[in-house]
Homo-oligomer: A and B are copies of this chain.
Amino acid sequence: MTDYRDRLRVKPGSKVRLKDVDPGYHGDGVTTADAAAMVAAYERQLELGQLKLYAESRRSLLIVLQGLDASGKDGVCRHVLDAFNPLGTTVSAFKQPTPAELAHDFLWRVHARAPGKGEVAVFNRSHYEDVLVVRVHGLVPRKVWSRRYEQINEFERQLGASGTTILKFFLYISKDEQLERFRDRLEDPRRNWKISLGDYEERSHWDEYIEAYEEALERCSTDDAPWYVIPSNRKWFRDLAVSQILCATLEDMDLRYPEPSVDLEEVRRQYHLAATGDGGRKKVKPGKGRPER
């Protein structure tokens, strides 16, 4: 089994050429049936890992999802990250900033949604938009956005230092695949409402977006907060790679349930063994007064 964490990670300091990455890559000989079984197994691990993270309540996990429109950010939320208990997980979708958000520095609104101890936070789009859409459309001068790579690295380093493990996924689809997905949206009455001409118009900036992504991936993939380029033309492979990488990361965190804060034997003796009126009754077997149906 390929280690996608190694295979798809952007090595710090390396050059990123998205032209050399095949967005249609789908593993080496993995079938969709294999993938479905593996994703299901990974999801059970993710569920367990998140429980321990929550129980431990000392560290946290931040998952950043980026990608062009229709690249599958929502799909990853629905199919992979759904494994996490909603209690203890927050998903923040960062859209066009509000006036209040624009009145602050670009990290302000994302900082507010960073995960607390024991929590998982998912950013569906993120502070990276401030070096992507903002750069492509010249929403601030180059002098301003070009400083942001280092500001982002500082910010992420600081989160890391306070116990947050960060993973960043770029869901990479081809321009043709995007058009196919727009077409599917057009042919599905339940998704017609999502269609906007703006999405089509953005396609004329495709190459500029790719260039902006390349620079962001290159300058902001660090040992503490790595970027992964996920070939995402095939949804099943995207889910497989993301879930495998997440599992490996959680495993490396070596999460453990904390020790109980009470003397279990004492609790057992004091509250459960006494046949007092305080509910200390014997456990009644199913079918004997405590039927399961």
Contact = CB atoms under 8 A, between A and B. Distances in A.
- Integer count of this chain's copies in the complex: 2
Interface stretch (A135-143, A172-180, A218-226): A172-180
A261 B193 contact: yes
Interface stretch (A2-10, A14-22, A150-158, A265-273): A265-273
A77 B50 CA distance: 15
Contacts of A228: none
Contacts of A82: 82, 85-86
Contacts of A81: 86
A144 interface: no
B279 A175 contact: yes
Contact of A292 (B195, B203, B234, B264): B234
B87 A200 contact: no
Interface size class of chain A, counting residues whose CB lies under 8 Å from the partner chain: 35 or more
Contact of A192 (B32, B180, B197, B257): B257
B26 A293 contact: yes
A82 B270 CA distance: 37
A167 B93 CA distance: 25
B272 A186 contact: yes
Interface of A: 26, 30-32, 51, 55, 74, 77-78, 81-82, 84-87, 89-91, 93, 122, 124, 175-176, 178-180, 182-183, 186, 189-190, 192-197, 200, 203, 234, 236, 257-262, 264, 267-268, 270-272, 278-281, 283, 292-293
